[in-house]
Amino acid sequence: MSGSCSRREFLGMGLKGMGAGLLAPRLPGVFSSTTGQATRRRHNVLFIAVDDLRPQLRCYGHEQMISPNIDRLAGGGTLFERTYCQVPICGASRASLLSGCRPDTTRIHYLKPKLDETMPDVLTLPQHFRNNGYTTVSLGKVYHVGDDDKKGWSQPPWHPKRSWPGYVTEEIEQLRTRLWEEGGKKKQRWEVLGPPVEAADVPDDVYADGTLTNRAIEELGRLRHGPFFLAVGFVKPHLAFACPKRYWDLYRRDEIDLADNPFRPGGAPDAALHNWGELRAYCGIPKEGPLPDDQALELIHGYYACTSFIDAQIGRLLDELERLGLRDNTVIVLWGDHGWNLGEHGLWCKHCNFETSLHSPLIASAPGVPAGQRVNALTEFVDIYPSLCEVCGLSVPDHLEGASFAPLMRQPDRPWKQAVFSQYGKGRSVKTPRYRYTEWKEEEGNVYARMLYDHQADPYENVNVAELPANAELVQRLTGMLAAGWREALPGA
């Protein structure tokens, strides 16, 4: 999308079916590698990762958002309403998803180490596709560390320049240099950040994610004869909220709302909260205490603008798929690597065990699968690997720790998982259809803090009810679910 546009113009836009032992009907028109017979050529895969994208999209019910292209993808595919990341930080979340293993198995709980270091022999998602005759290509931020998973890719991963923090104006770069010099050059130059926002009046491809889209379109043309597994990882809406001015202009700041619950939840333990150091590293952000309302509104505005910027890039990819005649034979999966806080509970960024950090968007589209479906069942990111195997007719590796959600794409209301599991720091969290329960343990195993939220009565997690005597039996049951772990919560368990 280049040039200027108005708000009105911008808005104008096969499976085996077995999930961890649960038998389900096969989706039609799918190549089955287990039988060696092909009813049609193998499906391509367009694998879209979006950094820090929470379900802040119109297709998820946020009417204020301008996300016509992601909405279009959801309208032509399956939207998963309750998908959760395994850990709300990009390095660990991506390593978990791409290996199909949970963080305690990958031994990656934060940004580092790399999967190549902790699990050098694991069969990753891209490596499995590569071993089955796919050309696998990584563009942009797929793994957190760009050279991770060397065996997974048919060619070296490619990254646009200046992806993070993503500034393009000389004024901000001069400011960063001055701050670096005034600070005694104690940090690396790239570690010194400028303001948390930028809105340059430039074409999309002056910014890194626009350049990334250009490269992805080139790759689609080169790979069009397939089969391909093309991973495209967008950086925005990650901080800094830097994108072309036209996307800021899509929103009126006086129509943007602050968080409804910018306060500490009643009864929440100290372990549940953090000082959002990621944001405080940017200049102009106070080192302690809440943000002034005008600054909070500017940041929310920037997050919305960057989301719409990425939506436009995704629209360009979808348009190119259709132009090349690839749409009908391409599986598309779009996911945000975790949630993000926009002032809820007085928090910003991710790095916590609240719903706002763990709830993540997931949309999947596959040939032969009904369009416009919505799935309310609980799903999680470790389910993506086995699901793509099922959809594309590949065998499902034994090491995977999720369940294919392919049966839900045939029958969205079927019985499914009893719970999904996430974690951050020493906190372990279980989400059931009604509750979220989190507990923090000391090294010796003693629980020193816990939270319980009833999402039926308190969907925004404003009052921790874990210590109420009336909930003692429920807490005991959920503690048992955490201890039993994910295997006991699988469909059919």
Q: What is the DSSP string of 234-286?
A: E-TTSSSEE--HHHHTTS-GGGPPPPS--SPPBT--GGG----HHHHTSTTS-
**Residue 433 in domain:** no
Residue whose C-alpha is closest to residue 318's, from 99, 70, 90, 141: 70
pLDDT band at residue 491 under the 50/70/90 scheme:
confident
144 catalytic? Reply is yes
Average pLDDT over residues 349-360: 98
**Residue 401 in domain:** yes
Please pick, among 85, 90, 243, 352, the residue that the annotation labels catalytic.
Answer: 90
Residue 356: domain span: 7-417
**Residue 465 in domain:** no
Alpha-carbon gap, residue 229 to 137, rounded angstroms:
6
**Residue 250 in domain:** yes
Q: What is the mean pLDDT of the chain?
A: 92
pLDDT band at residue 443 under the 50/70/90 scheme:
confident
**Residue 489 in domain:** no
Rg for the chain, CA atoms, rounded: 22
**Residue 25 in domain:** yes
Average pLDDT over residues 475-482: 98
List the Cα angle 403/409/410 in 5-degree steps.
110
Please pick, among 43, 128, 144, 338, the residue that the annotation labels catalytic.
Answer: 144
For residue 403 the two structure tokens come to: 């369940």
For residue 227, what is the domain's CATH number?
Answer: 3.40.720.10
Residue whose C-alpha is closest to residue 400's, from 108, 12, 110, 21: 21
**Residue 464 in domain:** no
283 catalytic? Reply is no
Cβ partners under 8 Å of residue 320, min gap 6: 217, 220, 221
pLDDT band at residue 40 under the 50/70/90 scheme:
low
- pTM higher than the cut 0.75: yes
pLDDT at 400: 98
Alpha-carbon gap, residue 164 to 493, rounded angstroms:
43
> Do the Cβ atoms of 452 and 464 come closer than 8 Å?
yes
| 3-state class percentages of the chain: helix first, strand second, coil last, to nearest 5 | 35, 20, 45
The H or E element spanning position 480 is helix 472-484
DSSP, collapsed to helix, strand or coil, labels residue 313 as helix
pLDDT band at residue 159 under the 50/70/90 scheme:
very high
Angle between helical axes of 68-75 and 293-323 (0-180°, round to 10): 50
Structural domain total, the chain:
1
